[in-house]
Structures are given as C-alpha cells and as structure tokens.
Amino acid sequence: MIIQEMVDILQAEVVAGATKVDNVINGGYASDLLSNVMSQAKTGDIWVTMHAHQNIVAVASLLGLSAVIIAGHVQPDKEAINKADAEEIPLLTTALSVFEVVGLLYSKGVKGV
C-alpha cells in the first residue's frame, strides 16, 4: 500500500512532502516520544503521532519512514512543513485521533511488527 491510498481512508490532508505520496508503507509505529521512535520504528513505517515539532521530520528522514501522520487536529509548525518539503517526507494531518488512525491502518493490513 502507498501513502496516497491512505489519504482518503484517514480523511487526511498532505501538508508537506507531497512529491513522495507514492512511498510504500511497510508497517506502522505510534509514539510521542521521539527517542523511543528513533530506537523502535523501522524503515518504511508510517508513524502516527501528535507531535508537530520540526524534530519529527529529522527523525523520519533519519529512519527512512514512509510518512508521518499527525493526528487529533494538531497542525505542524511552519518550520516542520518547510523541513518536510526539503527532505521530501510526507506529512499528513487528520482530525481523527491516534487511536482511530492506528485502527484504520491496522484494518487495512498495516501491522506494527
């Protein structure tokens, strides 16, 4: 599955990194502790978080994540958007909660391990 297919399912908006919406989703990870994400998430994962700080882009880029979805109606900082465009990391926002996002991803076959 690619990121573009998830956009509709998650009622999401692509706010940055739109050039890479054909990234393939290998799996998923959810956490708001960036130190934890750095040690646990895997390349190709879609990362579900409520963090909107620019450091999420650095972490996603470092790990080669397929996208970051910011849940719960949280809007990323301007710096985060600019950085995600520059690093070509898709940033998605949605009004759905983290719980709903993870549930929907799981129901479409995206697994955590």
Partner 1 sequence: MRQFVADLHVHSVLSPCAEVEMTPRNIVWHAARHGIDIVAITDHNACDNVTAALAAAKGTNVIILPGMEVETKEEVHIIVLFEKMRQLKAWEQFVYEHMSGRLNDEKRFGAQFVVDAEDELIRVKPEMLLTSLSCSMAEVCTKVNDLGGICIASHVDRPANSLIAQLGFIPPDVELAAVEISRLIRPQEAIRRFPTIGNLPIVTSSDAHTIADFLSGPKTIFNIEAPTLHEIQQALKGQNSRKVVIQ
Rounded to the nearest whole angstrom, what is the least distance from the CB of residue 23 to partner 1 in the complex? Answer: 21
Q: Is 53 in the site for partner 1 (CB under 8 A)?
A: yes
Interface residue with partner 1, options 4, 11, 26, 55 (CB under 8 A): 55
Q: Which residue has the tokens 């995206």?
A: 110
The answer to the question of residue 59 lying near partner 1 (CB under 8 A) is yes
Return the structure tokens found at 18. 């739109």
Write down the least CB distance from residue 53 to partner 1, Å: 5
From residue 75, how far is each of 25, 31, 42, 108, 112 by CA, in Å? Answer: 22, 17, 24, 25, 25
Site string for partner 1, 64-93 (x = CB under 8 A): -------------x-x--------------
Q: State the maximum Cα–Cα separation within the chain, in Å, rounded to a whole number.
A: 33
Count of CB atoms within 10 A of residue 26's CB?
16
Q: Which residues bind partner 1 (CB under 8 A)?
A: 32-38, 51, 53-55, 58-59, 77, 79
